[in-house]
Every structure is written in structure tokens, then in C-alpha cells.
Chain A
Amino acid sequence: MDFSRVGKNTSTFTSPNFLSLLKCAGCGMEFDPWRIHTFCPTCQSPLLAEYDLESARAKLDRDSFRYRRTGMWRWYELLPVNDPAHIVTLGEGDCPLLRLVRITREWNLPYVFVKDESANPTGTFKARGLSAAVSKAGELGIHRVIIPTAGNAGGAMAAYAARAGLDALIYFPKDTPRANIEESRIAGAKVILVDGLISDAAGVAGETARREGWFDLSTFKEPYRVEGKKIMGYELAEAFQWELPDVIIYPTGGGTGLVGMWKAFREMEALGWLRNAKKPRMVSVQAEGCAPVVKAFESGAAFCDFWTGAHTLATGLRVPKSFADQLILKYLRESGGTAVVVSDESILRAQQVLCRKEGIFAAPEGAATLAALEELVRRKWVRPDERVVLFNTGSGLKYLDHSNGPENGPAPR
């Protein structure tokens, strides 16, 4: 893929990307990004990619990116793959930012948008992270990738591994939506169902990875999925003319997108791309049956307790404890944001409202953000003049075994 000749921008770049090192989010230890790494061997925190933003600032023109071929990889210089030949893409990224019309009129909130990630390959935002991680894994000479997943990350990994020619092994909880299991099998991945939650799947997958030499692409247990997700932040900034929205409401399981976007906002600030220093208040949404981040946020804790007995129909939110819990909590607080819990009933209701009034058949996790907005409006935490972005992380079509739309019923209020 030669980005230098894409679109109207005729200027060429000869340097690859600006990736300079990996840095531990916990202890600050630095690592060589041209070697294979997982997480920090010293303090066991996630590693985050750092870029030479000073050089990037001098060389990159933020306004030129929009003329490139659409998709996540048009931000190539700020992504971790060194040689474009290693990029594994299915056209992920640049998903629509839709302004809600009917709902917002009724709620008297004129500036509410949905970033509709269901437009990604494999139908969810997981495509972004797995495109980045699989690409980088290939570049580093890795041939076998493994993942424990609540569902959608498995489908995405299977697709990208297939395109890259990598062996894929996926551990799902037994009650994962059927679409995720089928799409993974059809893409040629080996699928193993585990009696338990994603945390249980993670235990088995980690053991297998160590024993059999698979590379583990678990959330935050390698440094690059978050890089793919961060591009959601760049796309938002560009769409809002480099002035970030006031509030971002994000469904939080592993929290990669939330951490990634906050990272993107900091990078853009260092690049001098933002029109002002104001960053969004980040809101983490979780389900009543599994809300470790909300509990920790409300109690002022720096990390989450493992949530026991986790249950919710929003399988992507059924994460008893994220590996990046400390980062999620830190960024929520740094942003002046909050964490909101919503019930499964309110998620289903919001899913119907979004579809019947706006035509967006959202995943339950995405619908949860509308339920959360309703709660935040009730609390007067969101002002009518604020620009709010909800993240629909995937398509409702992947959850047909959980949907319960009324037959020809009236549009829900």
C-alpha cells in the first residue's frame, strides 16, 4: 500500500512511521518496539507505543490526511507498522459519525452524535485493534495468534489472521453469541468454548499460549490493539474540525477504545493539531451485572476489584476486571468524566429506540451509551448545548440470539 500517492495530496513521505519506543504505563520502563513484547515484565502493566511527536509535528500536515484513501491506515505515520507491506487491512475505520435527529429533538439535546462502528469489517470496532495487532504481529515474524474473547474480538482476529495467513486459536465463553463463533470458524480459526467468562477464557488461553508458543493478543497484553483503536480519536477530532466534543460516552469492557482515544487526544495536543486544549469528559458505561469500573470510580479506588458473578446480555461488557483498569480510572478522572451503570432492561429499550427512531441497529454495548445519556441528562450532568458522542461499538445483527424486539409494536418512548 503506497500512501504517498493516494488522494489529492501529492506530497510524498519517505520516512516510515514515527514509532520510537514502547513505554510501560505503570513504571515507565522503556522497550524496543522492533522486538516482540507483551506487557511489562517488571510491574505487569500494559505497554503503550510512543511516537517521536516532535519530528511528526514538523513533518505532518494534519489537513492533508483527509485527502488520503479512507480508512484507519491513512494515519499510517502514527500507527506502529514500519513497513506498509505488512499492513493487513479489510477497510476498517472512517465509520460514520451520525447526528441523532429525532431522539435529540425530543430530548432537547441538539448536538448528540453516534460514531457508528458497526460499519467496520466484521461488524464491530474490534476490527481496528485487530488490524493493527495482526499487522504488527506479522511484521515481528509471529505466525500463530491466540485470543480469549467475549465475542467480537475473536471474529475480528479470525478475519485478520486469515487475511495475513496466520494460525488463529480463539477461546470463547460457551454462551458467546453464535455469530462470533460461526464467523471465526468459517474464517478458519480453531475455536474452543470455555465454561465461564472471558476471565476464565483468558486463564486457559494464557496457559495454552505459554505451553504451545502462541502469541497472545488479549486486550492490553500486547501493545498494538490500542493503537488501532486510538484512531477513533483522530477521526473524531478531524470530523469536529480539530475541536474535540464535550462528552464521549463509551461502553467499557476491556477499555481499549477509551484508553486509546485519550492517548490520541494527548498525541494530537503534542502535535499541535487541536484548536484548543479542551478535551472531552470521558464517560464509561457498564452494565448493572458487571460494573467493576463504576464501582471503583465511585469509591475513589485506583484499580478495580474482580467482579464476581458477572452477568449481562451485553457480552462485551461482561469483563470482570480489565487488565488496564488503572489506566481507565486514571483517564476518566483526568478528563473530568464519570462512570455510569445501566440495566439490561434499559439497554434493550435504548436499542429499540435507536433503531426505531434513528435506524441504527446497535449492539447492546452501543445501545448502553444511549441509556447512559438518558441517565446523565436526568442528573443534569450533560448540558443541552454540549456536543456529545455516543459510541456504537458494533452491529446488533451479531446479537440476534439476545435481541427481543416487539413484533409490530409501537415505537418505544
Chain B
Amino acid sequence: MDEKILCIEDNPDNMILIRRVLQARGYRLVEAETGLEGLSLAEDREIRLILLDINLPDVDGYEVARRLRTDLNHRAERVPIIAITANALKGDAEKALEAGCDVYMAKPINIHELWARVAFFLPRT
């Protein structure tokens, strides 16, 4: 299975969990700790799906999604985005979807749901 998933997440514990869970299902992960690094990797690599944290140290996840969706020349412009966040601000789900994310998931991340969400976009043959 060569589908590459870009995970943009600054919390190392969450990154470890996501890596472990997705690698167990045979997915390959590309990792970024900041929004700008994520945007750059999405441009450079063949990415099929993005897992996007919202609270990031430089540009936040909303901005990452917005930039991806509005830059028609960006390689990842049409790549599905799953927002995964523990944001505690009003309407964070609405904001994530408005910014261009396809799905919103709240932390703590339920791995059965994560597997199902990822498999929806990257079905296993």
C-alpha cells in the first residue's frame, strides 16, 4: 500500500498514536510539526490524505486548510483533509469545515473511527 498520508501535528504523543495506528493498517505517513512545514510537504510529496491538527505553532490548521483550498495551483488543492483537534473555541468544527476540511474529528482520537475515516478516503483493496 503506497498511499501517503500527511499528518500535521505538533504534539508528539498524538503523532506517535497516529503513526502507530495508521502504520498498523499499512498506511505510510509523512509527518510535519508546523503548518508551514505541512504546506511545504503537501506541495513536494504525492499526498493522498491530510490529517490536520488545528492548534499549530505557526499558521493554524484553519489557515493551512484555507491556503490549500484557495491555491488552485497547489498540488494538494483537492486532497481530502481530516481536521483533528481539541480546540476549545466556539464553533471550531464549523470553522474547520468552512476553511475547507472535509471531516472534523475531536480529540481524544478514537482509533476505530480514525481507521474508518481514513479508509473512506483511501479504501483498502
Contact = CB atoms under 8 A, between A and B. Distances in A.
Interface stretch (B26-34, B40-48, B61-69, B88-96): B88-96
Contacts of A186: none
B116 interface: yes
Interface string A25-52: 0110000000000010011110000000
Contacts of B91: 196, 200, 308
Contact of B88 (A207, A305, A309): A207
A306 B105 contact: yes
Nearest to A302: B116
Interface in B65-109: 86-94, 97, 103-106, 108-109
Given A203-B86, A302-B116, A305-B103, A45 B93 contact: no
- Looking at chain A's contact residues, the main secondary structure is loop
Contacts of B105: 306
A310 to B, nearest CB: 9
B113 interface: yes
A198 B83 CA distance: 19
Q: How large is the interface on A (under 10, 10 to 19, 20 to 34, 35 or more residues)?
A: 20 to 34
Contact of A44 (B87, B97, B103, B111): B111
Nearest to B20: A42
Given A200-B88, A306-B105, 4 more contacts: A200-B90, A206-B88, A207-B86, A305-B103
A26 B110 contact: yes
Interface of A: 26-27, 39, 42-45, 194-197, 199-200, 202-204, 206-207, 302-303, 305-306, 308-309, 320-321, 326
Q: How large is the interface on B (under 10, 10 to 19, 20 to 34, 35 or more residues)?
A: 20 to 34
A348 to B, nearest CB: 26
B17 to A, nearest CB: 8
B98 to A, nearest CB: 9
Interface of B: 86-94, 97, 103-106, 108-113, 116
Nearest to A43: B111
B106 A199 contact: yes
B112 A200 contact: no
B106 A306 contact: yes
Contact of A204 (B88, B109, B116): B88
Given A39-B108, A206-B86, A306-B106, A326 B94 contact: no
Contacts of B90: 194-197, 200
Contact of A309 (B92, B94, B103, B106): B94
